[in-house]
Amino acid sequence: MGEVIRIFGVDPGSAATGWAVIDVAGARLSFVAAGVTRPKRSAPHSEKLARIFMALRDLIAQYSPHEAAIEETFVNASPRDALVLGQARGAAMLAPALAGLPLAEYAANTVKKSVVGRGHAEKRQVQAMVRALLPAAGQPASDAADALAVAICHAHHRGIRRLAAS
C-alpha cells in the first residue's frame, strides 16, 4: 500500500472553522476525523481568534498530521467581513505553521474542481462527493465537509506541488 501521509484540512471562518484529518496511501483516501470549532458568539474578536488557534493546535497535536491545507479567502462583498475572515484564516494558519507543517493554500474553485470536477459546483454537490469519497465520514457538518474537501484537494495536488518545488 505504500507510505501513508496524514493531511490536516482547514476551512477557516470566524464563527465556525471546519477541520478534517484524512490519510492518503497512493490514490487511496481514508477518513480519520472531522469537526467544527465554534468560538462563543458573544466573545470578543480577539478571544475568538485565540480559540480558533488553540483548537487547531490541540487537534494537530492529537492527530499528528504530516501536511496541512487551508482554503484561501475569497473576495467578499463587505470589506469588514473580508477582514474578519482574513484574521480567522491567519489564526488558523498559525497552528500548522508553528507545528512545522508544510501548509498548502487552495482557492475555493480549485477545491470544488478537485472534488466535484467543476470549479463552480454548489455546496451540496461538494458535500455529496465528500460523502462518496469518504463514506466513513458519515454526514459531517457543512464546515467539516468543506475542510474534508480541502484535505481531498490537497491529496490530489500534493504530488504536483512537490514536483513543482523541486
Report, as residue numbers or ranges, the catalytic residues: 11, 71, 143
DSSP 119: T
CA nearest 59: which of 106, 105, 30, 18?
18
Collapse the DSSP code of 10 into the 3-class scheme (helix H, G, I; strand E, B; otherwise coil) and give the result: strand
DSSP 5: E
Chain centre to alpha carbon of residue 166: 25
Which residue's entry shows cell 481531498?
152
Q: 89 CB contacts (<8 Å, ≥6 apart)? A: 12, 70, 73
| Helices 142-165, 123-133: inter-axial angle, 10-degree rounding | 70
